[in-house]
Structure 1
Amino acid sequence: MMPKVPTPDDGSRTFIQSLARGMAVLEVLSQCERPLNLTELAEAVGLNKVTVSRFCYTWVRLGYVHRTPDKHYHLAPKVLSLGYGALCRMDIRQVGEPYLQELSRTLGETVNMAVRDGIEILYVDRYVTEPIMKHPLHIGARLPLHCTSMGKAILAFLPAKERNEVLTNLPLHIVTHRTITTLEALQWELDQVRRQGYALNDEELSVGLRSIAVPVLKHGQPVAAVNVAVSTSRYTVEALVERCLPALKETVRTISDLLAKQVPVRRVHRRSEGE
């Protein structure tokens, strides 16, 4: 399914609508697994082809988008320098990196870290032990808050006012047959998550995938979340909690303590990991 990224407009005189529209084109290309033509891009961002053509021409000239001989567009490698540079400077990733790696090694399972970006989570680090999802994730990938364990872990520990503001603007899209699709059900689950201290994802994002997540707190505020992702063929929900939660909690507690104390952590070299 082709992503839909309508361009925002907050009504402010200082809001640059043309810039927002140009960025919407990049967002669509970043979420699509194949090159798109102008008709597809125009439909995705809700603009006419002439306007989208001008944005694409500009992005191509700047080196962030590549145009194929048959007039299709996809992101060029240069665009990676923007996101990766920001990710590499994130303190949370620097602090958590060696501990996530150790947790993955100890459990023999995939471990991920994500932060909240609006109504989505953004993956900032991950250690993969086996392919579970049909479409592999990567650092920089974005997923909805409501159907991910890390998203729910972060949401549950937000201050009440901020959480309510996010929920008001949160589209509860159906992803699988187990996705939460009502605000009442999501609020009930977030209350449960806050009481028990961890969140579960039981095939709500992808059939065959279960995960458990704990929020990373800094001065009581959720700045990220860490999860352990497993295959349903090997873990029941009960087994996931029993086998993985203690080590996951200990890892997150260590990261949270280091963030609170602002202890510098030496970065470790890591190899590229594939699905």
Structure 2
Amino acid sequence: MGALLKACALLDHFGADRSTWTLTELTEVSGMNKTTVHRLMATLIHAGWVDRTPDGGYRVTVRLFEIGASALAGLDIRSAARSFMTGLAAEFGDTAYLMVPADEGAVCIDKVEGSGSLVVAGINIGTVLPYHAAAGPVAMLAHSPELRDTWIRPGLQTYTSRTVHEPGDLAAHLDEVRAAGYSVSESDFLEGVSAVAAPILDDVGSVLGSISIGGRSENFSGEVLESKIAHVTRAAHRISAALQAARG
């Protein structure tokens, strides 16, 4: 077995049911000798696919997760949302985003750029965003008790002066978003960028994803903002209904 296949075989042991392994455990489960496992894991660390835990174990990185997340582009939610994203981008000239929840954060699985779109560096298909910043992630966090329980905690990163990061403030903000049914962000993740998002829900109210549009902050105010909120929330409701019908 070549070195590449051996490295892939080691990565296969990492999953939702077992996210961290020690060198001894990987040696035992893989059947390889300890020297080989240590060398292969060192290579994977150097490549950015794996890093070390505080107690010396191994875990896969977000980079590997992002590659896997890009495969989500073929899921049903993308097909259901695509026409609405295209319509929103055409209507307002903003970039439309589709995101789904994951343990690491909100994963962007599709986007459609409008005619006047602001190019937002770093947000592409496969990008993982923090739940407490940007409209799309916040819309999902506000509507998911499970995510709230794990994400609201001290020490959340601040990206701009507008990032809501203190646990009490964040909880109150999420309550407002949930009550409204949509999220509006203004320069809380990237300076000068605003967005509107609404959650995509299943028939029992669990979060399947979010749809959003983002662009220059000066284009998100007054009647234009109200129109964007109405269009985005309507799109989210229709996508939710389509997915619920498809899943019976």
Maintained 8 Å contact 2:104/2:128: no
Q: Which residue of 2 aligns with 1:17?
A: 21
Q: Which residue of 1 aligns with 2:74?
A: 89
Count of residues in correspondence between the two structures:
203
Cα 1:18/1:142, change in 2 over 3 Å: same
3-state SS in 2 of match to 1:211: strand
**Unpaired stretches in structure 1, ≥5 consecutive residues:** 1-12, 23-50, 66-77, 265-275
TM-score, normalization: structure 2?
A: 0.70
Cα 1:201/1:240, change in 2 over 3 Å: farther
Measured in 1, the distance between the counterparts of 2:191 and 2:202 equals: 33
Measured in 1, the distance between the counterparts of 2:212 and 2:246 equals: 23
Measured in 1, the distance between the counterparts of 2:83 and 2:218 equals: 28
- Map 1:182-197 onto structure 2 (within 5 A): 182-197=166-181
C-alpha deviation, 1:123, in angstroms: 0.0
Cα 1:83/1:183, change in 2 over 3 Å: closer
Measured in 2, the distance between the counterparts of 1:15 and 1:151 equals: 23
**Identity over the aligned pairs, expressed in percent?**
21
1:131 aligns with 2:135: no
3-state SS in 2 of match to 1:179: coil
Q: Which residue of 1 aligns with 2:158?
A: 174
- 1:167-212 superposed Cα distances (whole Å, 9 cap, x missing partner): 3457510101111120111001111011111111110001100001
Cα 1:80/1:104, change in 2 over 3 Å: same
- Map 1:132-151 onto structure 2 (within 5 A): 132-133=119-120, 135-151=121-137
C-alpha deviation, 1:56, in angstroms: 5.3
- Map 1:1-275 onto structure 2 (within 5 A): 16-18=20-22, 54-55=40-41, 57=43, 82-84=68-70, 86-129=71-114, 130-133=117-120, 135-159=121-145, 162-168=146-152, 171-219=155-203, 220-236=205-221, 238-262=222-246
Cα 1:14/1:142, change in 2 over 3 Å: closer
Q: Give the letter aligned to residue 43 of structure 2.
A: Y
Measured in 2, the distance between the counterparts of 1:170 and 1:97 equals: 36
Aligned CA-pair RMSD: 3.3
TM-score, normalization: structure 1?
A: 0.64
Cα 1:217/1:79, change in 2 over 3 Å: closer
Q: Give the letter aligned to residue 228 of structure 2.
A: C
Q: Give the letter aligned to residue 140 of structure 2.
A: I
**Unpaired stretches in structure 2, ≥5 consecutive residues:** 1-16, 27-36, 51-63
